[in-house]
């Protein structure tokens, strides 16, 4: 590493009023860090001390896996035997070792071991993938002090408490560090915490003055110090501790702590000492252990298993009672059984004991009612479904080269049942890039470009207007009017929506150079043309405010010859880029001045002007504005201010409101289009006025005490008065590609969306407009509490106030008469603390459910998780949480389904997730296509599984009853072993993997189809019992038809009747053919694979029967040459099979024919449209059907467009009414004359 790097001389602390330069008086008292919760002692630069007791601290190794080498076996076995069926088969496998078992032990133990082993292998594979991702993080390199002033690279996992670490610009902090010094002389550094709390603004951290001399690698040779602080805890915003250095004790606070997974920005390097490592770090303290999630279908499957187990016990009891009766009353007469010489298994003297033994036999014999291969088949299907998700090219992100990943396949079908999505904002909906798009200067709007939301809404508007053209043409108009009714509608529509400003030619966009942070288009301001505008002096002042009022630092870009700006927030950076493009280039900052190169001036040559920064009153969330007091080259003093319009307008002088009305109108338009807005103002100061104020300001700045910040704020407020409005800016917080369209499609699919963000309320509201979660006309319910009121009124009073706000809002929604009215709930983190309390959370949830959209601002990671839990448990419906940062891990793990965005900001969210995607827009396809398919496939597959096993299992019961409850099986052992494993397994797997009711394109065109999942139409009890009834009916037909046919009729040409082997084999053939034909009828979409598996299974049975019959009689027993010699030559065998297959499947065929004809489901209609090619031949009908297939929604740009169309229709109606009145008056006037 480079030693003795030259440090930046700019003392950034001089730029800040509030957050930095807190005077350290001699009387600064160290924190009290004794007692419970404050036992941590860190010896700086002595990591070896912490590797042994009593200071043995956890390593920096992190793990997000479910298992490790020690816990895998017990935990995985527990997971497997949590499944009721597996527990049952474990019991039967143990009983199969006893003499009462009707089958061999191997035939019971082998399938169980195979099923459990395969499931455990799948779990191990998925956890291995998590382990690999963990290792990627643990293997990251960091520069660590090795001794003697030499730094070298170490993997993150080997960093220890007490290590001195050097972190360079744009690197993540490997652990929680105490900041010692930075590349800036005064120890300031900038930190991006977006990965922790979603905040896009950079945080300013400052080192203690006593450690500023540790300025290069060599100074750490003899560095020693001791930190005594709080124990590990999840609070991201607090830290209490003391630093002992050179026999002095200094208090520490959060401004000196650099948290793991936050990123160093705008600072060349920092030195820090490790305080918390690994799972002790605050970000990992906020995470929880990877939970074991089970889908709703799997839980319901357990209930079905209980029902089948109850049925199993009932028929086993009937069988055992029947056997006991037979043993007592009839067995003494059966001399060939030697009743006097028998065991307890067949003892006429102890029929009850014999009955109990037979109960065990029956429980094992009828075990085929409960399908052991169901779980393993589902596991295989889910893994293959996950593979299709992973390999979906439509969810591949070309920019990052990342694909979608199903990190666990247990929840595939849950994707099709989601009711509520809880989403992070920054990095999930937005890409944290601000583009200067429009502005209003001196009451004139500039900027002809359009935001993504405007473009998307305009496209939808054009489609909807076209679709509804006929409706507009139904308005009767006078025949002699200048233009027809639709022309009037179109003209009014274009004026109303201003479509002409929204449509931008693709060629123009392609030819324009892309400038990051600047998407402005308007020739009136570009290229110096602003100087020709009527208010050129105001425009010049506007641009100077952009170029001067900020805290950014310019960095020379040698490649392009210009400057890059290191700003605290992306907004500030885009202002500087805009100022540069307009001809005011911020090019240099010194300790007391900023320099601006102005290009378009009267002399024609660029001029570099100096503006002395006298004071800087920076932005805080409470002030919502920032100001710079500057002196220009002429010696004049100006206060330049930018901030939220609601604040700035209150600070305007009477003579400063000249442009207020026009600017307000423009701000409303910008807000409607989802743009972030700021108002710009100024005032000129006299020297005496400034001097008097500055003396007060310096007195407050250098004061010591708890009220210092309040004094500073009061003095600042006194200066920021009597301002003159200049204009306003409109910045587009660039959404990730396709976000508005995705949200719109999800809304049409009937999903609700809650946004949980750590950002300010204003920012969240702006993004709400951008995403069309909010729109003009939507009634916003803001639940908030004044922070000052908490201390004054007491917590109980505040709780009552919040409860009253929630109650009033709920009442307002209930009393609303307008069916199109929409409500949005907006709540901040402070208020959420009270709203999530046990005595209030259900009222809060009720209000949230009643609202069209919910936005929670300033929420901590823990609150995100608590809100997710509340929605999940309170509604009882499936929730999906999606996020990209470590601050989202809690809610991702808490939700039924967690989706991580595999973006650029770390991998914590991905590692904790169940599914990962590269962009939010891919969520649309993940849910609407894959979710819909997976839900229907798994639901149909499970229903079919129970059907075929009931059809098969009950025939064993009928035969046993037919043979005196003897425990005799009609089927050969090999038949039963192959039934679930080979002969019926592949068709059902093909159903679960390849079945499609409609294609992916149709799923996206008809989003309302998705509601079949949340409404559980394919796995409700009605459908489950229907399939069970079908299985019962098939079992009766298969058994009794065969018995009737073969009971006393000649079977072969020689007149012989059929024996048990012939009847059993025929019956088994009927089962194989009937259930495979049934699955063929169930499928809507056939591929060659399905044909191969379905008809191949029947073929495989005959091949097996042929080969099995050719083996030695010692192996095949009664099945020796049964097909060749007995069954195939007998016509009655083939006729019986055909008759049974038709009779078994006829009711199902009749049912689906009736349903499709008289009560079709949505996908049935679409299938017929596609089959008869009506989507190609009748585009109008296809378009009408598509418009019907949208769930009625109040969010998304479709809802925004619908609202505008209603407004347009209302205007047309009024215009038509006014025209009729005029016509009537003119007719009456003519009649009067």
Catalytic residues, which ones? Answer: 424
List all residues 6 or more positions away from 1113 whose beta carbon is below 8 Å from its beta carbon: 1120
Asked if 436 and 894 count as a contact pair (C-beta separation under 8 A), the reply is: no
List all residues 6 or more positions away from 749 whose beta carbon is below 8 Å from its beta carbon: 927, 928, 1007, 1008, 1010, 1011, 1191
Residue environment code for 1068-1094, b if the CB has 16+ CB neighbours within 10 A, otherwise e: bbbbbbbbbbbbbebbeeeeeebeebb
List all residues 6 or more positions away from 696 whose beta carbon is below 8 Å from its beta carbon: 715, 718
Determine the 3-state secondary structure of 315 from DSSP: helix
Rounded Cα distance, 1049 and 1119, in Å: 21
Asked if 432 and 426 count as a contact pair (C-beta separation under 8 A), the reply is: yes
Rounded Cα distance, 1115 and 243, in Å: 83
Rounded Cα distance, 1003 and 745, in Å: 11
Q: Which of 906, 758, 827, 713 is nearest to 170 (CA)?
A: 906
Joined tokens for residue 256: 């000196």
Q: 3-state secondary structure string, 703-725?
A: CCCCCHHHHHHHHHHHHCCCEEE
Neighbouring CB atoms inside 10 A of 660's CB total: 16
Joined tokens for residue 1009: 């189809």
Residue in the structure block whose two tokens are 């010699």: 1125
What torsion, rounded to 10 degrees, do the Cα atoms 249, 254, 260, 262 define?
-140
What torsion, rounded to 10 degrees, do the Cα atoms 493, 497, 503, 504 define?
150
Asked if 261 and 194 count as a contact pair (C-beta separation under 8 A), the reply is: no
Joined tokens for residue 718: 């006194």
Rounded Cα distance, 1068 and 1198, in Å: 56
Neighbouring CB atoms inside 10 A of 659's CB total: 22
DSSP secondary structure code for residue 1118 in this structure = G
* Radius of gyration of the chain, Cα coordinates, nearest whole angstrom: 38
Rounded Cα distance, 972 and 975, in Å: 5
Pairing of strands 257-258, 176-182: antiparallel
Asked if 562 and 594 count as a contact pair (C-beta separation under 8 A), the reply is: no
φ/ψ (deg, to 5) at 205:
-110, 150
Asked if 677 and 671 count as a contact pair (C-beta separation under 8 A), the reply is: yes
Residue environment code for 781-790, b if the CB has 16+ CB neighbours within 10 A, otherwise e: bbbebeeeee
Rounded Cα distance, 1205 and 1217, in Å: 18
Helices (H) and strands (E) in the chain, counts: 42, 33
Rounded Cα distance, 417 and 13, in Å: 53
Asked if 890 and 429 count as a contact pair (C-beta separation under 8 A), the reply is: no
Tell me if the bond preceding 54 is cis, omega within 30° of 0.
Answer: yes
Rounded Cα distance, 527 and 531, in Å: 10
Rounded Cα distance, 291 and 892, in Å: 10
Q: Which of 898, 932, 896, 925 is nearest to 1013 (CA)?
A: 932
């Amino acid at each position: 590493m480079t030693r003795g790097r030259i440090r930046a001389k700019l003392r950034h602390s001089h730029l800040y009023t509030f957050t930095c330069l807190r005077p350290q008086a001699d009387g600064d008292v160290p924190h009290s860090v004794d007692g419970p919760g404050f036992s941590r002692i860190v010896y700086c630069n002595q990591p070896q001390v912490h590797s042994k007791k009593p200071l043995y601290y956890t390593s920096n190794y992190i793990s997000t896996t479910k298992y490790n080498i020690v816990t895998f076996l017990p935990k995985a076995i527990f997971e497997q035997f949590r499944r009721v069926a597996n527990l049952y088969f474990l019991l039967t496998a143990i009983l199969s070792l006893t003499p009462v078992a009707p089958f061999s032990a191997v035939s019971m133990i082998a399938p169980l071991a195979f099923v459990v082993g395969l499931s455990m292998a799948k779990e191990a594979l998925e956890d291995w993938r998590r382990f690999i991702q963990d290792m990627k993080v643990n293997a990251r390199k960091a520069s660590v002090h090795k001794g003697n002033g030499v730094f070298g690279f170490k993997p993150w996992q080997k960093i220890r408490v007490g290590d001195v670490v050097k972190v360079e610009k744009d690197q993540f902090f490997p652990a929680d560090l105490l900041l010692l010094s930075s590349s800036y002389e005064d120890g300031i550094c900038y930190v991006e915490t977006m990965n922790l709390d979603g905040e896009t603004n950079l945080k300013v951290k400052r080192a203690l003055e006593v450690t500023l001399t540790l300025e290069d690698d060599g100074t750490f040779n003899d560095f020693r110090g001791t930190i005594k602080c709080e124990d590990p805890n999840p609070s991201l915003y607090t830290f209490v501790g003391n630093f002992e250095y050179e026999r002095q004790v200094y208090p520490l606070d959060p401004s000196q702590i650099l948290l793991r997974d936050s990123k160093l920005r705008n600072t060349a390097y920092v030195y820090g000492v490790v305080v918390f490592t690994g799972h002790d770090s605050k970000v990992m303290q906020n995470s929880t252990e990877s939970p074991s999630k089970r889908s709703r279908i799997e839980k319901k499957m357990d209930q079905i298993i209980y029902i089948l187990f109850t049925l199993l016990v009932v028929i086993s009891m009937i069988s055992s009672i029947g056997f006991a009766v037979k043993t007592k009353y009839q067995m003494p007469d059966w001399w060939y059984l030697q009743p006097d010489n028998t065991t307890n298994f067949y003892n006429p003297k102890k029929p009850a004991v014999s009955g109990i033994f037979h109960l065990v036999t029956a429980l094992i014999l009828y075990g085929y009612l409960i399908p052991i291969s169901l779980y393993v088949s589902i596991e295989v299907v889910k893994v293959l479904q996950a593979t299709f998700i992973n390999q979906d090219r439509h969810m591949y992100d070309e920019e990052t080269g990342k694909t979608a990943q199903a990190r666990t396949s247990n929840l595939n079908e849950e994707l099709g049942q989601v009711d509520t999505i809880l989403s992070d904002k920054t990095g999930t909906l937005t890409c944290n890039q601000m583009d200067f798009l429009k502005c209003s200067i001196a009451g004139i709007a500039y900027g002809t470009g359009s935001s993504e939301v405007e473009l998307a809404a305009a496209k939808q508007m054009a489609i909807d207007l076209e679709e509804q053209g006929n409706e507009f043409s139904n308005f009767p108009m006078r025949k002699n009017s200048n233009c027809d009714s639709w022309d009037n509608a179109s003209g009014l529509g274009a004026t109303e929506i201003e479509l002409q400003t929204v449509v931008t030619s693709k060629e123009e966009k392609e030819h324009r150079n892309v400038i990051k942070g600047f998407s402005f288009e308007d020739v009136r301001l570009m290229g110096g043309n602003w100087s020709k505008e009527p208010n050129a002096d105001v425009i010049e002042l506007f641009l100077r405010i952009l170029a001067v009022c900020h805290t950014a630092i310019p960095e020379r870009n040698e490649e392009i010859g210009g400057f890059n700006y290191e700003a605290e927030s992306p907004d500030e950076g885009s202002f500087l880029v805009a100022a540069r493009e307009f001809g005011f280039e911020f090019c240099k900052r010194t300790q007391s001045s900023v320099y601006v190169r102005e290009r378009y001036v009267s002399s024609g040559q660029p001029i570099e002007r100096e503006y002395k920064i006298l004071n800087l009153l920076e932005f805080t969330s409470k002030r919502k504005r920032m100001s710079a007091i500057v002196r220009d080259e002429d010696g004049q003093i100006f206060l330049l201010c930018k901030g939220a319009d609601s604040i700035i307008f209150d600070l305007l002088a009477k003579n400063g409101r000249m442009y207020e009305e026009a600017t307000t109108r423009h701000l409303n338009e910008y807000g409607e289009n989802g743009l972030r807005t700021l108002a710009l103002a100024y005032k000129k100061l006299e020297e005496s006025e400034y001097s008097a104020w500055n003396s007060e300001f310096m007195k407050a700045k250098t004061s010591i005490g708890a009220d210092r910040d309040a004094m500073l704020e009061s003095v600042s407020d006194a200066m920021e008065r009597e301002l003159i409005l200049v204009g306003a800016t409109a910045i587009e917080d660039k959404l990730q590609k396709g976000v508005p369209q995705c949200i719109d499609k999800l809304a049409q699919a009937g999903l609700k969306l809650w946004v949980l963000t750590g950002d300010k309320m204003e920012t969240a509201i702006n993004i709400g407009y951008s995403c069309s979660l909010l729109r003009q006309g939507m009634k916003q319910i803001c639940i908030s509490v004044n922070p000052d009121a908490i201390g004054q009124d007491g917590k109980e009073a505040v709780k009552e106030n919040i409860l009253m706000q929630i109650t009033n809002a709920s009442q307002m929604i209930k009393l609303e008469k307008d069916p199109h009215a929409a409500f949005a709930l907006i709540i901040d983190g402070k208020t959420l603390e009270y709203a999530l309390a046990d005595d209030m959370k259900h009222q809060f949830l009720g209000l949230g459910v009643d609202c069209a959209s919910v936005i929670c601002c300033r929420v901590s990671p823990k609150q995100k998780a608590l809100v997710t839990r509340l929605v999940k448990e309170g509604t009882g419906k499936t929730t999906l949480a999606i996020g990209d940062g470590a601050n989202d891990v809690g809610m991702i793990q808490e939700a039924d389904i967690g989706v991580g965005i595999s973006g650029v900001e770390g991998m914590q969210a991905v590692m904790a997730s169940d599914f990962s995607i590269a962009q939010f827009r891919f969520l649309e396809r993940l849910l609407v296509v894959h979710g819909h398919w997976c839900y229907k496939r798994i639901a149909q597959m499970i229903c079919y599984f129970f059907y075929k096993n009931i059809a098969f299992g009950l025939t064993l019961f009928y035969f046993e009853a037919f043979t005196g409850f003897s425990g005799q099986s009609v089927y050969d052992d090999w038949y039963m072993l192959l039934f679930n494993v080979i002969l019926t397994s592949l068709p059902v797997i093909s159903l679960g993997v390849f079945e499609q009711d409609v294609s992916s394109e149709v799923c996206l065109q008809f989003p309302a189809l998705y509601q079949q999942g949340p409404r559980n139409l394919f796995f409700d009890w009605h459908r489950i019992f229907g399939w069970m009834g079908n299985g019962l009916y098939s079992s009766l037909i298969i058994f009794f038809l065969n018995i009737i046919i073969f009971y006393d009729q000649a079977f072969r040409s020689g007149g012989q009747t059929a024996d048990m082997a012939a009847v059993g084999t025929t019956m088994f053939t009927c089962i194989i053919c009937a259930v495979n034909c049934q699955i063929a009828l169930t499928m809507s979409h056939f591929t060659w694979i399905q044909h191969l598996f379905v008809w191949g299974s029947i073929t495989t049975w005959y091949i097996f029967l042929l080969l099995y019959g050719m083996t030695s009689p010692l192996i095949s027993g009664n099945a020796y040459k049964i097909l060749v010699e007995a069954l195939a030559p007998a016509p009655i065998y083939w006729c019986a099979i055909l008759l049974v297959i038709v009779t078994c499947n006829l009711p199902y065929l009749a049912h689906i024919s009736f349903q499709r004809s008289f009560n079709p489901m949505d996908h049935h209609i679409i299938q017929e449209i596609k089959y008869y090619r009506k989507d190609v031949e009748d585009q109008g009908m296809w378009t009408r059907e598509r418009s019907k297939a949208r769930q009625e929604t109040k969010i998304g740009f479709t809802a925004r467009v619908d609202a505008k169309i209603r407004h347009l229709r209302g205007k047309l109606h009024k215009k038509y009414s006014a025209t009729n009145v005029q016509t009537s008056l003119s007719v009456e006037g003519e009649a009067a004359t």
